[in-house]
A and B are shown apart, each in its own frame.
Chain A
Amino acid sequence: MNDPNPALAIFHSLTQTSLIQIGLILALAYLSIFISQKFFPWLADEVPSRFRLFLLGLVPVTRLVIIIAAFVMIIPLFLYPTFANLVTLLGALGIAIGFALKDYVSSLIAGIVTLYERPYQPGDWIEVNGAYGEVRTINMRTVEIVTPDDTVVQIPHLQLWHQLVFNSNDGGQNLQCTADFYLNHQHDVATVRELLYDTALTSNFLQIRKQIVVAVINRPWGRHYRLKAYPIDPRHQFDFVSDLTVRGKSALDTLGVDWAPQVLFSEGKS
Chain B
Amino acid sequence: MSRSCTIVRTGPQALVQDRGRPGHAHLGVPPSGALDQPALALANRLVGNEESAAGIEALLGGLVLRADCSCTVAVTGPAVPVTVDGHRVDSHTPVHLGAGQVLALGSPQGGIRCYVALSGGVDVPEHLGSRSTDVLSGIGPNPLRANDSLALGAPAGLPSGVDVLAASALPGELVVPLLLGPREDWFDADSLARLNGARWTVSERSNRIGLRLEGEPLRRVPARERLELPSEGVVTGAVQVPANGLPVLFLADHPVTGGYPVVGVVAPNSLPRLGQAGPGAALRFGTAQMV
A binds B: no
Interface residues of B (CB under 8 A from A): none
Interface residues of A (CB under 8 A from B): none
